Amino acid sequence: MSAERNNEEHPPLERLIAYHEGKLDAAAAEELRDHLALCPRCADQQLDLADFNAPPAPVVDLAARREASLLARAVVSEERARRFKAVAAIAAGLVLTTLGVLALRELGPRSGRGTQLALDGPGAANLPLASLWPASEVRSRGSATAVTVPAEAPVLGLILNLPDLSRCATYRAVLRSAEGRTLAEVSGLRRTEDGRFQFWVGAAGLSPGHLEVELYGEGEGCGAKLETFPLTLLRPAADGR
């Protein structure tokens, strides 16, 4: 006579509601009555439904009235705060996504291990060396590529255009000072289909002046230096350095 003794599954709530509302056909209603007689849980639900649909009784319990009022206020405040946070998070996400896309367009992957970049940097098609980010000052072929890098810029993205280069498995790029000191090194680079190398290096510690980018082959029989590209690093006029 209890639900525990009744091994039947409980009918779905929708069915119990349909019965409560008199929307089941006669046969289905009879079947459900058999279940209700044996299942106090479902019988209770019928009474609950009747209670919830009864005309509202005046809440004479002042404490309950106050609790209800406080609860409503708390729920509205909580949900407003949650909504605000959600909107703020979405806005922040959009900003970050936009910045991320722009950065990817400009910078490429951090590892510099030959991952392909989808976008070209300014002047990249014309220069043997171009900067993805910050943008290169486009100069004619044969001149040093000049890049204006703010002191606080964290990275420097570079493109090497070498469509005629013989193929090695991977390549290594080295950024050297005019004195030949190694400033940064990225290995495992792969050529893109159109013969480019795109990578980026940390810009912290790079001083304005004339630098060189050297490209080496990697792998068996490919260890030699293949090309050297002059690069001029500049600071913005207002940078103070």
Binding region for another protein (CB under 8 A): 1-2, 5, 13, 17, 19-22, 29, 33-34, 36-38, 40-41, 43-54, 56-57, 59, 61, 64-65, 67-69, 71-76, 78-79, 83
Residue closer to another protein by CB (options 44, 239) is 44
Q: Please work out, in degrees rounded to the nearest 5, the angle formed at the alpha carbon of residue 143 by the alpha carbons of 186 and 214.
A: 20
In the complex, least distance from residue 46 CB atom to another protein, rounded to whole angstroms: 5
- Reported as type and span, the H/E element at residue 93 is helix 62-107
3-state secondary structure of 87: helix
CA-derived radius of gyration, the chain: 36
Residue closer to another protein by CB (options 40, 202) is 40
In the complex, least distance from residue 95 CB atom to another protein, rounded to whole angstroms: 24
101's tokens? 């896309």
117 and 193 Cβ atoms separated by less than 8 Å: no
- Reference 224, options 162, 156, 155, 174; nearest CA is 174
Residue closer to another protein by CB (options 35, 196) is 35
Residue closer to another protein by CB (options 77, 182) is 77
In the complex, least distance from residue 65 CB atom to another protein, rounded to whole angstroms: 7
In the complex, least distance from residue 236 CB atom to another protein, rounded to whole angstroms: 47
DSSP state of 204: T
Q: Name the one residue in this structure whose structure tokens are 């290096």.
A: 201
